[in-house]
A = this chain, B = another copy of it.
């Protein structure tokens, strides 16, 4: 079996060429990757081991597990020291390792494996590369958007009067899984944990969480303090659904809002403003625009409407309104006030201007978009208005 799945040969060759070109530009001789997300990017498959890419564009997969891969570009190893032996005839003077991902102890061991090599950071380079999606990747994300939307379209039928937030969430999880969702919610870094997404109902949306998500919630347990807390879904409440869109290793990010009975005019107004912000940003977000300009435009619209108090949380506010998404849910670019990212064609971004309205709950939508030459192309095309549950 080839480590590169059938039909991905050209795609992997193109990705490898991009990485090699970036390595050359940075004066780096080779890059060694071992995080699952980056390995998956380099060959279309998760394995246990390393991808070693040279600035000349040669990629070698050093595999620990599973058994069974064949090919010139595959070498089985038991320990990383064998990588250095294998490349001994062409030892890198500058080697990039995943310094922002891999543990200190593991990096120290790898450094000893390549004595004398100057060490550069692969995580930042890979983050930049992965932020620009190929048409192959965009097609995968489109597929996610279609399934994501199909699952959300059944939420209205799933709801039963008298449900708690977690009861509804469990049924949505089942619907997503039946639609093909892999469940896995991949998050880069160590500032977030989440099980298959967040559903926030009523007052619980006001509870701040420790995580770096846009919204919070108390959670069901102090070990995972986010999302549902077991509250009854009551008339006058909103239910915000922001659940996992990973159907094929890539994930769309989509939030929609439901209500039971009528909700306050303030909540309706804030939700409409979120939609308006999306439409404004969809036109404004062309390649070359600063990511922070999108954040600033959203804040400007919120201030004009006098809704700052509720924007991105009440007691605790998230410091961004959007983020890149792909293999992981928190990729580049980041739509935040101090972001230095510049939008590029092929970026895939989730935009989520949200509000927490006291006694009502969270409102606002989130969509995943591709940055195209003429603006944003939406991948998550579910109806934007608040949907009544009955």
Contacts and interface: CB of A to CB of B under 8 A. Distances in A.
A301 interface: no
Contact of A47 (B44, B182, B210): B210
Number of copies of chain A assembled together: 2
Contacts of A316: 65-67
A333 interface: no
Interface in A79-128: 97, 99-108, 121, 123
A196 B224 contact: no
Contacts of A100: 103-106
Interface in A31-54: 34-36, 40, 44-49
A216 interface: yes
A353 interface: no
Interface residues of A, number: 65
Interface stretch (A187-195, A284-292, A340-348): A187-195
Contact of A105 (B121, B178, B224): B121
A64 B316 CA distance: 11
Interface in A19-37: 34-36
Contacts of A174: 170-171, 173-174
A203 to B, nearest CB: 15
B66 A216 contact: yes
Contacts of A210: 46-49, 64-66
Interface string A5-26: 1000000000000000000000
A316 B65 CA distance: 9
A211 B173 CA distance: 25
9 contacts: A36-B193, A45-B225, A66-B208, A66-B209, A67-B315, A99-B104, A100-B103, A183-B195, A183-B196
